[in-house]
Each structure stands twice: as C-alpha cells, then as structure tokens.
Structure 1
Amino acid sequence: MSAAELISTIFLPVSLAIIMLGMGMTLIPTDFTRIAKNPKAVLIGLTNQLIFLPIIGFTLAIVFGLNPTMAVGLLILATCPGGPTSNLITQVCKGNIALSVTLTAIASIVSVLTIPFILSYALEYFGSDTNVTIQLPIVDTILQIMVITVIPISIGMLIRKYKTSFAKRMEKPMRIASTVIFILVFIAVIAANLNVIGSAMKEVGLVTLVLNIATMGLGFLTAKFFKLDFKSSISVTVESGIQNGTLAFVIATSILNNAEMGIPTGAYSIWMFVTGGFLMWYFGKREETVSN
C-alpha cells in the first residue's frame, strides 16, 4: 500500500471519525430540530453544492481552455460536495456544526445520483476518450457517511447527554485537536503527492484556486443575501467551497481509470487546506456567537 493510499484509506478516515466524535459532544438534538423547522439554510447550501458548483466548474474549464482530460478532472471535483473535512473546518471556525453535518450527509447521498449524470455529459462535451458507464457505489457511499460521520457524532451526542460536564470540558481540547489533525493531514497530503504537486500546480493551479475562491464566495454571498445568521453563514461558505477530494480521486482513478484526471484534485487539495486554514485562523479566534 502506497503512502497516499495509507493516508486516504486509514489515517484520514480514522482522524475524521475522532473529530466527528468530538463534534457530537458539542451537539444536542434541538440543534437538528431547529434546522428541520427552518430548512432555508439547508436548501441554500444544497443548491450551491449540487447545482451552482458544477456550473462554475464547467464555466471555468471553458474560460481557461483546459484540455479534455483536465476539464473532466475539474468537473469531477466540482461535482463532489464537501466531505467530513468541511465539518472539521466548520467546527474550528465556530460555525453551525449541525447544519454542516446535515449538508454533508444529504449532499453526499444525492450526489450519488447527480455525479454520473453530470460527468457523462462532461465526457461527451469535452470529447474525452474515456468510454465508460459511471456508476457510483451507493451502498459504500452511505456506509462511509455512517462510519465516518453519523455514528461518531451520535456517540458524541450520547456522551453530551449522559456526561454533560465532561463533554463541555472537552470542547476546547477537541477544537485544538481538530486544528492539529488538520495540519497533520495537510502535511501528509503534501508528502504523499510531492511528485505531482509541481506539475499539477503548473497545469491547473490557477483554475483550481479560482474554483475554490469562487465557490466559497458563492456560499458567503448567498448566505448574506438570504440573511442567514452568522454561524450558518460560516457553514454554508465552508460547505460550498470545500470539496470531497477523496471521492474525486476515487472517481478519476478507479471508476474512470484515468490518473491524469485526478491532477486537478491534487492541486485543489492544496488550495483547500490553505483557504480552509485561513478561515480556521480568522474565525477560530473569535468569541462564540449565538445562532438566531
């Protein structure tokens, strides 16, 4: 097993599951019922992730004149909504964690249906030589969400309910641990992909940076336009701009059997950690705010 495979299949999922456990200890059931009663933020986030992000990716591929392989690679990235990493960043940014988790879970399941449709069109439009039927593993995707996200968070919420004082004491240490793990994962990603980072940045560095900033900007502007509270605005911003790079790599290398299509994801992963890290630093030092 290569270093990159070791990181993506073992280190990253285990680390994120631990962080999800810590997040669960900050949540109570009313955090989710409040979202269910007022689903505006969820609808905004899902619209950004499932509709506008692929449109932005498609537009940028044309504007930057990417070759077919890189264009499809960029579309793969744009169709993969935020994974657990976006939940981690939201936690440190002191955003609405329940909203972030809800968006991740729903978008990940729905994208199993939207990704094949969008990528089939992209392959045809850009004239890629890849002639395959795109079928994502629905059961595996749902199991991944359950194991990495839902189960650890549920356990954390049970700890919060029955060991409330302990859970409250652990809030700050877990936020610090989240930051440390984020940094370690960033270093590990760079180390594992050191041989391709240079060429990836040279070939698609600028367009992936624009994609990252544009999608985060979209999240921020739509949140403000629809007058979401501050913590929910942070969540929608992060969820709109942080993509599931692991899923994108799997689609490119395992389903489409084209490692080159994973190059945009490699470049984007660097920018994602840089901009995500900035948000964690900027919002993480602020005092906690109360959602409306």
Structure 2
Amino acid sequence: MQTEQITPDQTASGDKAAKRAVTVFPVLVLVAGAAGLVTPGTFAGWASSVPYLLGTVMFCMGLTMTPLDFKGVAKRPWAVAIGLVAHYVIMPGLGWLIAHLLGLPPQLAAGVILVGCAPSGTASNVVTFLARGDVALSVSVATVSTVLAPLVTPPLTLLLAGAYLPVDAGSMMTDILKTVLLPVLGGLVVRLVAGKLVDRVLGVMPWLSSLAVAAIVTAVVSASAGTIKAAAVSVLIAVVLHNGCGLALGYAAGKVSGLGRPASRAMAFEVGMQNSGLAASLAAAHFSPLAALPAAVFSVWHNISGAVVAAWMSRSRRGRPASADPGHAPAAAETV
C-alpha cells in the first residue's frame, strides 16, 4: 500500500484541526449538559436513543480507520500489549478503589467502575498528537481495546461492580457488540469499499460525532436532573481523581516498561481517557440514568484535562518521533 507524502502545510492543518476539536468539544458537551439540567422535560424520551447515538459515533470512528491502524499492532505487539494490560488493569482498579474510598452510593459507584472498565477514549489519539507523543501506538492501543471491549468490559464490570448492583454480563456483551463493534466494522468496510467518497466527507465526521456525544450527555443529564445537584460534588471529585490518577499511572507504566518518552505520553492518554459514551450508554441501559452521570461528567472532564496535559507536554523541545507519524494527524471525529 502506498502512502501519501504529507507536507508541512498539511501537518499544520491537522494540528489546528486537532486543537479545534479538543477546544470546541468540551464546550459543546457543557452546553448540552446544561440544557438537559435546566429543561429536562424538553428531552424526555431521549434515553431510548442513546444506543443509536453511540452507534453513530462508533460508525464515524470506523470510517476514519484504515488497514494501517491494524498493521501498527503487528509492528509492535509488545508495546500494544503493555498498553492494553495497563488500561484494563489500572482504570477498572482505580474506579473500584475511588468508589470504595469515597463511599459512593451503589448507582454512582457502579457508574464510576463502568467508566473504568470501558475501552480507550478515541479522543486520546488527538491529544497524543498534540502532546508530541507516539500517535501510532496510541491508535493501535485504542483500536485493539475497542475490538476487545465485548470480551473484557462485561466480566470486569461484573467482577468489580457486582457487589453494588446486579450485572448481566451476557446482555452487556451483546449490547457492546451491537453498539460498538458492529458499527466500527461497518464503518471500516465502507471506508475500504468507497474510500474516495469517504475521504470527501471526513471533514464532517468530527462534528457529527461531537453532536451525537453531546446528545448522549443531554439525555443522561435530563434523565437524572432531579438528583444531580445532590451528587454533583462527589461525582466530580471521583471523576477528577479517576482521570488524573489514570494519566499519571499510564505514563508511569510506559516509563517503567522502558518504552521511552513519546510512547509513555501515548500510554498516559490511552490509560487515562475512556470511551465515556459507551459507559454512559451501558449504565443507562443496565443500571439507571443516575449511574450514567459519572460517564457524562467524565466525557467533559477528560477532554479538558487531556488538552491541558498535552499542552504542558508539548512544551518539551524534543520533537515528535518518526513512529508518531506527525503528518498523519488523527481524525477529530473521535471525541468520546
């Protein structure tokens, strides 16, 4: 497969698009959440649309993927394996620990744990790019963690959240297959079959995905508007601790494993940023709208914290490594 030579102008354009995505998206989600909180009756009945909205986001993700994303896994299987183990050990464990230490009510505890058990948030690719990290590794870990989610997320949730609420792991697995894996594969197939046509509309994908995630947050917040004020402080503390510790421990896992600075930066975001759209959808379907609240807050916070940490990391004088493929700025459609 031939690869197109990326010019400096294209790199700068991709950098600007990525910065725009991580700036505009949290604002959009904040506005959506505020709307759901202030006028919850306006969005009555939206909860049933959450799985379809998530499917739209994941289909957009599939459209941005190419066979090169999977070849990257074969090139560095050891690094990808470290990223997967770190992600699916650190974040679920942190979710359980934080819920236990804060003494969260069962619904919120299960929601925090479910966020931890979700696959990597694909916004991590964009943030890794901004942080001058190893984008190729970031894309590989995010891709494989998403593909493995139907097999990993349900049993982990059952193991860690089962003490708080009943967990139907089989039903959850089916839901992840329908709302995540099948749409991603569908988008990938469309990209392979009609690549030139898809390339023409890729610029629309970021906004379509962003609007879908914002709608998910609106549905989640409006369904729990009556109880959010009482739980807001504890949920925010849990989310900030969960995300912050995940970023720090992810970076530490990369350094301890000897992966080097750029790869460690990628590890920080692959561990600390979650597919909160999936967590919100699963929580609303299998637990309650209140259990989906941590995922809704996480959706806003991890993009803000990720952008801030990326800006701090990018101040380093060391440029992006060749393996990071700086010319291939990740599509900004991945905002969950």
Both structures adopt the same fold (TM-score exceeding 0.5): yes
Matched position secondary structure for 1:243? coil
Aligned pairs for 1:88-99 (under 5 A) are 88-91=123-126, 93-94=128-129, 95-96=135-136, 97-99=139-141
| Equivalent in 200, 225, 228 of residue 259 of structure 2 | 228
Q: Tell me the equivalent position of 1:263.
A: 293
Distance (whole Å) between structure 2 residues aligned to residue 135 and residue 232 of structure 1? 33
Q: Are 2:239 and 1:208 aligned?
A: yes
Distance (whole Å) between structure 1 residues aligned to residue 189 and residue 309 of structure 2? 26
- Does the CA contact (< 8 Å) of 1:190 and 1:197 recur in 2? no
Moved more, 149-158 or 189-198: 189-198
Q: Quote the offset at 1:203 in angstroms.
A: 3.1
- Does the CA contact (< 8 Å) of 1:219 and 1:240 recur in 2? yes
Closer/same/farther in 2, CA of residues 279 and 136 from structure 1, 3 Å limit: farther
Q: Quote the offset at 1:266 in angstroms.
A: 3.0
Q: Quote the offset at 1:211 in angstroms.
A: 0.5
Distance (whole Å) between structure 2 residues aligned to residue 79 and residue 62 of structure 1? 16
Q: Are 2:190 and 1:135 aligned?
A: no
Q: Quote the offset at 1:155 in angstroms.
A: 3.6
Closer/same/farther in 2, CA of residues 134 and 188 from structure 1, 3 Å limit: closer
Closer/same/farther in 2, CA of residues 16 and 200 from structure 1, 3 Å limit: farther
Q: Tell me the equivalent position of 2:304.
A: 274
Q: Tell me the equivalent position of 1:245.
A: 276
Closer/same/farther in 2, CA of residues 186 and 106 from structure 1, 3 Å limit: closer
Q: Quote the offset at 1:276 in angstroms.
A: 4.4
Aligned pairs for 1:145-164 (under 5 A) are 145-157=180-192
Please list the CA deviations of residues 164-204 of structure 1 after superposition, one character each: whole Å capped at 9, or x if unmatched. Answer: xx88x76xx84x64554465356445544253654442231
| Equivalent in 46, 57, 62 of residue 3 of structure 1 | 46
Q: Quote the offset at 1:20 in angstroms.
A: 2.8
Q: Tell me the equivalent position of 1:33.
A: 71
Count of aligned pairs between the two proteins? 267
Letter in 1 for 2:93: I
Q: Quote the offset at 1:101 in angstroms.
A: 0.8
Q: Quote the offset at 1:231 in angstroms.
A: 6.2
Matched position secondary structure for 2:103? coil
Where does structure 1 lack aligned partners over 5 or more consecutive residues? 124-129
Letter in 1 for 2:232: M
- Does the CA contact (< 8 Å) of 1:197 and 1:267 recur in 2? no
Closer/same/farther in 2, CA of residues 188 and 277 from structure 1, 3 Å limit: farther
Distance (whole Å) between structure 2 residues aligned to residue 182 and residue 280 of structure 1? 22
Q: Quote the offset at 1:205 in angstroms.
A: 0.9
Q: Tell me the equivalent position of 1:126.
A: none
Q: Among the aligned pairs, what percent are the same residue?
A: 20
Q: Tell me the equivalent position of 2:117.
A: 79
- Does the CA contact (< 8 Å) of 1:252 and 1:259 recur in 2? yes
Q: Are 2:56 and 1:14 aligned?
A: yes
Distance (whole Å) between structure 1 residues aligned to residue 107 and residue 175 of structure 2? 26
What is the TM-score normalised by the length of structure 1?
Answer: 0.72
Please list the CA deviations of residues 129-157 of structure 1 after superposition, one character each: whole Å capped at 9, or x if unmatched. Answer: x4x35333334423433332233234435
Moved more, 49-58 or 203-212: 49-58
- Does the CA contact (< 8 Å) of 1:54 and 1:79 recur in 2? yes
Q: Quote the offset at 1:235 in angstroms.
A: 4.3
Letter in 2 for 1:78: G
Q: Tell me the equivalent position of 1:127.
A: none
Q: Quote the offset at 1:291 in angstroms.
A: 0.8
Distance (whole Å) between structure 1 residues aligned to residue 310 and residue 61 of structure 2? 15
Where does structure 2 lack aligned partners over 5 or more consecutive residues? 1-43, 130-134, 325-336
Letter in 2 for 1:260: L
Closer/same/farther in 2, CA of residues 281 and 179 from structure 1, 3 Å limit: farther
Q: Are 2:147 and 1:105 aligned?
A: yes
What is the TM-score normalised by the length of structure 2?
Answer: 0.64
| Equivalent in 85, 88, 98 of residue 60 of structure 1 | 98
Moved more, 230-239 or 240-249: 230-239
- Does the CA contact (< 8 Å) of 1:45 and 1:103 recur in 2? no
